[in-house]
Structures are given as C-alpha cells and as structure tokens.
Amino acid sequence: MYYIKKQIEISAAHRLDLPYQSKCTEVHGHNWKITIYCKSDRLNENGMVVDFTHIKQQVKDRLDHKLLNDVLPGLNPTAEHIAHWICTQVEHCYRVDVQESDGNMASYEADEA
C-alpha cells in the first residue's frame, strides 16, 4: 500500500446555522490547516497515488479566501462537514483533518470498502 499526505493552509470565512445562541452564527474567518491522506495499492501512470498539485487544485484553489457557505451550498460548513466534503473531492482520499483554530480540529475517515 502506498500512502501520501498533503498539508494545506487556507484563509476562509463561514457562518454556522445553529439552533442555539452562538457567536459562530455570525460570519467569521479562520486560518484553516487541512491535512489530506490518500492511499492506493497501485501507483498511477505517473508513479503517484495522487498528484499533490491536483489535490491543491481540488481543495485550496476552491476554498481559499472564500465564504464557505457560498462554495458549499446546502452544507452547514462545520469543520466536520468540510472534512467529509474534501474527502469526497480527492481521489484515493481516506482521511481528512480540518483544524479551524488551535485546539479545535475535526477529522473524517472514510469507511473501508
């Protein structure tokens, strides 16, 4: 099995739709640290699990300096939902860690098939 890990930092804003009083229901931003894990038992024709540049294009180029509520319509952009969304966007991705601030991180790990 081959494994790769790509770390990305983005600056992005969001607001959460919550049924209780929270300052997070107002638009606010974070400097997000995102770690994307991919694996495959075979390398592609270029000798890679996934090209790191393609991961950057699929994630950073789509989310950096954006209002995540606009980029991810219909999704309450919690760190947990963002981690899941990223995992579905990147080929061979099996885990994503999304850190929105020091001490606050969510992870999503796909079920084994």
What is the pTM assigned to this prediction? 0.94
Query: Would you state the pLDDT for residue 69?
Result: 97
| Statement: residue 113 has pLDDT above 90 | no
Residue 97, amino acid: D
Average the pLDDT over 41-53 and give the result: 97
Whole-number average pLDDT of the chain = 96
- Residue 111, SS3 per DSSP: coil
Residues 37, 4: contact at Cβ < 8 Å? yes
Which residues, in sequence order, are bridge partners of residue 106?
98
Domain parsing of the chain, residue ranges: 2-7+36-109
Query: Would you state the pLDDT for residue 111?
Result: 85
Residues 27, 82: contact at Cβ < 8 Å? no
Question: From start to end of 1-113, where are the E strands?
Answer: 2-14, 28-40, 93-101, 104-109
* The domain made up of 2-7+36-109 is a member of CATH 3.30.479.10: yes
Per-residue pLDDT tens digits for 79-103: 999 999 999 999 999 999 999 999 9
Residues 9, 56: contact at Cβ < 8 Å? no
Q: How many residues does the chain have?
A: 113
Rounded Cα distance between 56 and 13, Å, is: 19
